[in-house]
Amino acid sequence: MRFAVALLALACTACGQQVDEGEQEMIEEQAIADVEAVNGSEPPLREVVPEPILFPDIEKHDMFGASCAYAPGTSLGARVIARQADAFMKVDGEVIRFAADPGARELPYGTRSLYNGTEYSLRLEVAGDGEQSGMETMDYEGSISLRDRWDRVVYDGVGTAQCGV
């Protein structure tokens, strides 16, 4: 309907009919609102399937040190490695780096509950007191939530969060 009004006004102008100043202002405001509506609309949801972070990825991106590694279900392949200042996830063959939100809740080993990237935000949780799984590691029930820039969940995972040095 709005588009039809704008076309009608343009057609009248093209035919030589004058549009008064109030009508012209209304037409321009409507055109601006239409463009803003299109630009602000969300694209279709694109679900993400994170890939296991492998040792070559860990070496290349220097992911060593105190961290929590999140693995979904009963998988041993970490989908997220979170550290005090940053976290990593591998999507479509590319390792994505996230920055820790310093205001987010602190989790074991100085990790955070929220990390932000350019395209996604990563939310992490751990439950319980954890169980000793090695000399310097603790296993927790953990969860991962990856959200796009429109705050829509594009990946959810529940499994083990292994934290240690």
User: In which element (H, E) is residue 161 found?
Assistant: strand 153-164
Average pLDDT value for the chain? 88
For residue range 99-115, what is the model confidence (pLDDT) as tens digits? 999 999 999 999 999 99
Confidence of residue 28 (pLDDT cuts 50, 70, 90): confident
* pLDDT surpasses 70 at 6: no
Phi, psi of 33 (to 5 degrees): -60, -40
90 pLDDT higher than 90: yes
Asked if the model's pLDDT at residue 4 lies above 70, the reply is no
Percent of the chain residues topping a pLDDT of 70: 89
SS3 content of the chain, % helix, strand, coil (to 5): 25, 40, 35
Q: What would the two tokens of residue 81 be?
A: 């490695």
User: Mean per-residue pLDDT for 24-35?
Assistant: 85
What is this structure's pTM? 0.75
Euclidean distance between CA atoms 132 and 127, whole angstroms: 14
Q: Which two tokens stand for residue 6?
A: 């704008």
CA distances from 13 to 5, 22, 32, 114, 122 (A): 12, 14, 19, 54, 52
Q: Which residues lie below 8 Å from residue 100, measured CB to CB, with a gap of 6+?
A: 82, 83, 84, 85, 86, 87, 111, 112, 114, 115
